[in-house]
Amino acid sequence: MVKKSQATKKPVNQAVSASRIRLNKLILDVIDKYADLQPNMASEVFRKKLASEIEIEVDKYCLTLLTSLNN
């Protein structure tokens, strides 16, 4: 018999993964808008790294919020 937490874990993980991909794409799209306006944003590698760093910080912020709500 599968526990409820085990049964729902995979879809939740997939949803979180899909959400992270959308968040990263959204951040990258916004950064790309300014690529031509800022010389330091001209590098695609730099923009992707920046998007990843922003995503990590947003994840930390969301985790902090969720943790505070659960306490």
- The tens digit of pLDDT for each residue in 11-57 reads 656 666 667 778 888 888 888 888 888 787 888 888 888 888 998 88
Neighbours of 56 (CB within 10 A): 11
What is the reported pLDDT for 10?
A: 59
Separation of alpha carbons 31 and 4, rounded Å:
40
| 63 pLDDT more than 70 | yes
What is the reported pLDDT for 4?
A: 53
What is the reported pLDDT for 42?
A: 80
- In the chain, what are the domain boundaries? 4-70
Which residues contact residue 52 at a Cβ distance below 8 angstroms, ignoring those fewer than 6 apart? 24
Which residues contact residue 51 at a Cβ distance below 8 angstroms, ignoring those fewer than 6 apart? 24, 27, 28, 31
